[in-house]
């Protein structure tokens, strides 16, 4: 069954090579089908985004552009067609030569849409929530300057896990399991799982290992006092907020999910195999 598509939003990282050419191709293609299209640049993040009557969004760039798009579009339940303008990312499965085929197959109901868990992150200070964020990949608590060990107290909604002395901690979604968390030794999860990862960064105590918890769990990270450095919270590597001693940061599953269109050319595990150079032989 054909999907109803009357208006398309094109979210683009204009720093990518060929971005303007791909935009022109998409707008001309959509125009021939009487589909409206609008452009929103990642550089216009302070500009109000009009999602009225938007049925589909193109994300033109890399994984970072998808993260940016997901935070904007998830509350509106708008599916994202991620088109990679560089090397294949873990999220951007569609190449710049495949977008026509992907669009047509999505339009005719032949491509599915994956639902990716997002996290809601709130900073509590003196009993009040001072700011909140939504992220698709992860939230990271770390030193603001030169790397120094920080002291964090981590709890679940019903259990105190204890004190963590480390360079910081990563709270990652399954989508974010292939990003910073993987580089820090965390497990890789299927991106459509309902789970979260607690991953200490270079912990002082080797018994502090990465932990996978259920998606409906709540994670609390309390900033210890008498830190040797200032700390920051970073969401998806794109939003930054300074933290203070005794702040409590709550991580929980967001109500909305990122809707990301699958590719029929390759799946997550094929991308994983390629990106991580799994040979499958004796040298793997």
Domains and CATH numbers, the chain: 7-112+262-275 (3.40.50.10330), 119-254 (2.60.200.30)
* Lowest mean pLDDT segment, chosen from 103-117, 141-155, 259-273: 259-273
The per-residue DSSP string of 185-212 comes to: TPPP--TT-SEEEEEEES-SSTT---EE
User: Hey, which residues are catalytic here?
Assistant: 63
CA atoms within 13 A on the CB side of 46: 0
Place of tokens 């699958």: 262
Tokens of 162: 């204890």
Nearest-angstrom CA–CA distance, 180 and 145: 18
Of 253, 245, 249, nearest to 233 by C-alpha is 249
Strand-pairing partners, residue 237, are none
pLDDT at 283 over 60: no
Is pLDDT above 90 for 180? Answer: yes
What pTM did the predictor assign? 0.92
| pLDDT average, residue stretch 34-55 | 88
Residue 279 has pLDDT above 80, yes or no: no
Q: What is the pLDDT of residue 30?
A: 97
The CA-atom distances, in angstroms, between 23 and each of 16, 93, 95, 104, 263 are 12, 18, 14, 17, 20
CA-to-CA distance for 260 and 262, rounded, in angstroms? 6
- Tell me: pLDDT of 26 over 60: yes
Nearest to 227 by CA among 161, 106, 141, 135: 141
Question: Computed from CA positions of residues 265, 269, 273, 275, in that sequence, does the dihedral angle turn out positive or negative?
Answer: positive
Contact status, residue 247 vs residue 152, Cβ threshold 8 Å: no
Reply yes or no on whether the pLDDT at 276 is more than 90: no
| pLDDT tens readout for residues 258-274 | 999 988 887 788 888 88
Q: Could you give the percent of the chain with pLDDT greater than 70?
A: 97
3-state secondary structure of 105: helix
What would the pLDDT profile of 224-257 be if each residue is shown by its tens digit?
A: 998 989 999 999 999 999 999 999 999 999 999 9
Least confident of 205-209, 246-250, 277-281: 277-281
Token pair recorded at residue 120: 């809601």
Query: Is the separation of the CB atoms in 38 and 91 below 8 Å?
Result: no
- Nearest C-alpha neighbor of 136 from the set 158, 114, 153: 114
Q: Which token pair is 229?
A: 């450095």
Instruction: Give the pLDDT score at 130.
Output: 98
Question: Considering only 64-73, 146-155, 265-274, which range has the smallest mean pLDDT?
Answer: 265-274
The pLDDT assigned to 228 comes to 86
- Does the pLDDT of residue 79 top 60, yes or no? yes
């Amino acid at each position: 069954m054909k999907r109803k598509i009357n208006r398309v939003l094109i979210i683009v990282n204009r720093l990518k090579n060929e971005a303007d050419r791909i935009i022109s191709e998409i707008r001309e293609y959509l125009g021939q089908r009487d589909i409206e299209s609008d452009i929103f640049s990642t550089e216009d993040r302070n500009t109000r985004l009009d999602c009225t009557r938007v049925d589909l969004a193109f994300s033109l760039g890399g994984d970072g552009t998808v993260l940016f798009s997901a935070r904007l579009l998830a509350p509106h339940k708008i599916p994202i067609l991620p088109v990679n303008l560089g090397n294949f990312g873990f999220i951007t499965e569609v190449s710049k030569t495949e977008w026509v085929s992907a669009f047509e197959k999505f339009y005719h109901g032949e491509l599915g849409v994956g639902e990716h868990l997002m996290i809601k992150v709130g900073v509590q200070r003196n009993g009040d929530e001072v700011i909140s964020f939504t992220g698709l990949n992860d939230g990271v608590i770390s030193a603001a300057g030169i790397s120094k060990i920080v002291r964090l107290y981590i709890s679940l909604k019903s259990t105190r896990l204890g004190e963590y002395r480390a360079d910081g901690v990563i709270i990652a979604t399954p989508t974010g399991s292939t990003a910073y968390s993987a580089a820090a030794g965390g497990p890789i999860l299927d991106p459509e799982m309902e789970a979260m990862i607690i991953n200490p960064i270079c912990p002082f105590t080797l018994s502090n290992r990465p932990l996978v918890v259920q998606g409906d769990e709540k994670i609390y990270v309390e900033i210890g006092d008498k830190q040797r450095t200032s700390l920051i919270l970073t969401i998806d590597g794109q939003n930054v907020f300074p933290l203070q001693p005794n702040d409590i940061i709550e991580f929980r599953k967001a109500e909305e999910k990122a809707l990301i269109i699958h590719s029929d050319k390759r799946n997550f595990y094929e991308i994983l195999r390629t990106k991580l150079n799994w040979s499958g032989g004796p040298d793997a």
